[in-house]
Structures are given as C-alpha cells and as structure tokens.
C-alpha cells in the first residue's frame, strides 16, 4: 500500500462550505456564538464533508489491540496476558467500550493488530495481526519498517471498508498492556518535553514503578535517538502496532473526507504519527476528551486540539471517543434543524444578547 501517496492525497477542508455553515450558524435563533464548541464543530464538519449541511449516518469505533515487548522491563502493573483477555471481553460485549458504543449507537470493531497470543478469536474480532507483539524497544527497535507500514496500511484498509459500508464518523480506541510506555516515548520525541514531564502512572503504578518507567523510557530514547522529522522511523523504533494501526485509521479517514474522533493518550499518540506523515490530517481530527495522563495534555497542546470533554478518564478502548460522538452529531443537528431568525419571525435584535 502506498501510505505516503495516500497521506499526500488528503485535501484541505472546504473553506466555502465552512463559510456557508458559519453564515447559517449566525442566522439561527440564538445569540451569535452562544452554543460555543457545538458551533465550531459544525463548521469543522462542514469543511470535512464539503457541504454546509453535514449529517452523521453511521458511527464506527475501531478498538485496536496489541502487546508490547517492553513489558519485560517491568513498566506495567498488569501482565501482558490481560491484552488477550480483554479482546475476548470485547467479543463478549462486556467491556466499557461495548456499553458506551451501544449507548451512542456506534458499532465497535475490535481488531487484533499484534496480540501476543495463539488464541482463536471469535468471528466478531477482526484479525489483522502483524506480529505477536512488538520487540522489546529497550533492547532494539520495536518493529521493522515493513511491519510499521503493514500496521498503518491495515488501519487505512479498516476505514476504507467501513466508509464503503456507509460509515462517516470514525473513532479510535486501543488496548495493549504497556502501551503508555510507547505513547510516552512518542510524546517526548515529538513534543520535545522531558520524559519525566510526560510520564504518567498508566495502569496504576506506584511511585517506585513510576520512577522505573521514566528511567526505562529515558534509556530507550538514548538508545534509539529517534528523529521527529522521520515519523515512520520513530514509530518503528519506539511505537506500538496498535498505535501504528490507529495512525492508519486517522490517515484513512482523512483521505476519505471523514472526521476521526481521537480517544485518550494512546489514541492521541498515534495522531502524532499521522500528523507527521500527513500534516493535513490534523484538520480532520476531533479530540474527544482530556485524559488525566499528563502526556495527553502535552500532545493536545502540540497538535493544537481542544478536547470536548474532561471527565478525569484514562481507560482507553475508545470510551472517550464514544461519549463525544453524540455531541458531534448534535452539532450537525443544530446547524441543520434550528430555525433561522427569518423563518421563525424572530427579531434579529436577539443576535447581540
């Protein structure tokens, strides 16, 4: 798959559609700007969909799972076996993302991009395994260049099929024990912040565990000396297969003129890769929420994204993306279904109230 060609095919948002949507927003029966982010979202969506009457048809969240070899360094409070166990939980509908997906009317597609397991998955799990977990990035590159490209390509393909089936709102989610270590390394590399500034407790490390995690990530970065100007190389050295897959989902969505809602820290770390490979893809991203993970705040600031929600969440799986979907859809309905001052016979003096 020509990943670079697809990345370069992403078009800027349609400014004409955005201007028309903004004009309509200003004519609706409310004080101008009084619905805040809902107005901004509707205008962004108008530019993405290239119409001043954007509508949500079908919502899909990809929850992509993979394991991390760096867990051998003791950076997680949970064993790697939990990744496979959670994939089975997704399949049985028992996870938080299943509940929230049902609540907002979104289809949840759980994907094995690199789970270190020989389990035979139920048919509801999309099997796109590149390898059984990354290699230990504390000893060498996390994956090969070809594996990184394959995982990104798999993410692009997931979106292509979903859009062909009518999806026009995509969310990203993750599952992978140890993935906050990779996400933190990516965050430090791209934002230029110190590892200590962007390292959180992940699955619940104590103070001693946190300091060990910081030390491991610092050593990883010293070993690889990743260059942020070469995003694919950074991904290969310190990334994760689920992170690569989500980067592909973002690039794939943007190339199809479809908005993509980012979940939390891990999901947003994949946006660093996507933005590096396809700078125009940033215009198609919507940040669902602000995680309590300190690294997430650094990523949002770096990408210039304003989160919709702040619920002190840090679960992942796509849970934040799910919760934001109804608000994104609400922004479209406000734009399309509210009366204008003229149609409702309301005095325009209300505009300045």
Q: What is the CATH number of the domain that holds 98?
A: 3.40.50.10210
- Residue 105 and residue 202 share a domain: yes
Q: What is the pLDDT of residue 89?
A: 98
- Residue 268 and residue 126 share a domain: yes
The structure's pTM equals 0.96
Q: What is the pLDDT of residue 77?
A: 86
* Catalytic residue (choose from 218, 317, 329, 337): 317
Residue numbers of the domain that contains 340: 3-54+334-352
Q: What is the CATH number of the domain that holds 15?
A: 1.10.1610.10
Interatomic CA distance for residues 3 and 339, integer angstroms: 44
Interatomic CA distance for residues 12 and 207, integer angstroms: 45
Q: What is the largest CA-CA distance in the chain?
A: 70
- Residue 130 and residue 276 share a domain: yes
- Residue 44 and residue 133 share a domain: no
- Residue 12 and residue 127 share a domain: no
Is 149 a residue of the active site?
A: no
- Residue 115 and residue 19 share a domain: no
Asked if 253 contacts 303 with a C-beta cutoff of 8 angstroms, the reply is no
Residue from 320, 291, 316, 287 nearest 304 by CA = 287
- Residue 166 and residue 42 share a domain: no
The answer to whether the Cα torsion of 81, 83, 84, 86 is positive or negative is: positive
Q: What is the pLDDT of residue 201?
A: 85
Token digits for 223? 């070993």
Interatomic CA distance for residues 15 and 24, integer angstroms: 14
- Residue 225 and residue 166 share a domain: yes
Q: What is the pLDDT of residue 106?
A: 98
Number of domains in the chain: 2
Q: What is the pLDDT of residue 350?
A: 56
- Residue 338 and residue 323 share a domain: no
**Residue in the structure block whose two tokens are 């590149």:** 130
- Residue 344 and residue 242 share a domain: no
Q: What is the pLDDT of residue 268?
A: 98
pLDDT of the chain, 353 residues: tens digit per residue: 899 999 999 999 999 999 999 999 999 999 999 999 999 999 999 999 999 999 999 999 999 999 999 999 999 989 999 999 999 999 999 999 999 999 999 999 999 999 999 999 999 999 999 999 999 999 999 999 999 999 999 999 999 999 999 999 999 999 999 999 999 999 999 999 999 999 988 778 888 989 999 999 999 999 999 999 999 999 999 999 999 999 999 999 999 999 999 999 999 999 999 999 999 999 999 999 999 999 999 999 999 999 999 999 999 999 999 999 999 999 999 999 999 999 988 987 655 55
- Residue 175 and residue 91 share a domain: yes
- Residue 39 and residue 20 share a domain: yes
Report the chain's C-alpha Rg in angstroms: 20
Strand 59-66 and strand 106-114: the pairing is parallel
Degrees, nearest 5: CA angle 223-273-226? 15
């Amino acid at each position: 798959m020509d990943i670079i060609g697809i990345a370069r095919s992403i078009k800027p948002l349609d400014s004409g559609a955005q201007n028309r949507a903004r004009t309509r927003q200003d004519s609706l029966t409310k004080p101008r700007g009084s619905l805040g982010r809902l107005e901004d979202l509707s205008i962004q969506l108008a530019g993405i969909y290239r119409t001043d009457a954007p509508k949500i048809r079908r919502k899909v969240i990809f929850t992509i799972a993979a394991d991390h070899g760096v867990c051998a360094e003791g950076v997680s409070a949970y064993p790697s076996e939990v990744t496979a166990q959670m994939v089975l939980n997704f399949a049985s509908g028992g996870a938080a993302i299943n509940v929230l997906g049902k609540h907002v009317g979104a289809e949840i597609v759980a994907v094995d991009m690199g789970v270190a397991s020989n389990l035979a998955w139920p048919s509801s799990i999309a099997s796109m395994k590149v390898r059984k977990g990354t290699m230990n990035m504390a000893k060498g590159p996390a994956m090969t260049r070809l594996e990184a490209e394959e995982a990104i390509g798999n993410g692009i393909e997931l979106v292509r099929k979903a859009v062909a089936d009518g999806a026009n709102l995509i969310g990203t989610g993750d599952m992978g024990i140890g993935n906050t270590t990779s996400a933190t390394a990516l965050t430090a590399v791209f934002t230029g912040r110190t590892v200590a500034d962007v390292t959180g407790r992940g699955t619940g490390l104590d103070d001693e565990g946190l300091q060990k995690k910081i030390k491991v990530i610092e050593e990883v970065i010293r070993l690889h000396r990743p260059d942020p100007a070469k995003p694919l190389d950074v991904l290969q050295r310190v990334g994760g297969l689920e992170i690569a897959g989500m980067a592909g989902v973002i690039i794939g969505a943007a190339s199809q003129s479809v908005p993509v809602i980012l979940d939390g820290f891990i999901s947003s770390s994949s946006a660093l890769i996507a933005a590096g490979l396809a700078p125009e893809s940033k215009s198609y991203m919507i940040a669902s929420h602000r995680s309590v993970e300190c690294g997430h705040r650094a990523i949002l600031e770096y990408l210039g994204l304003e989160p919709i929600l702040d619920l002190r969440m840090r679960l992942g799986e796509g849970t934040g993306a799910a919760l934001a979907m109804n608000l994104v859809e609400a922004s479209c309905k406000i734009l399309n279904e509210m009366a204008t001052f003229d149609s409702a016979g309301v005095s325009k003096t209300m505009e300045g109230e």
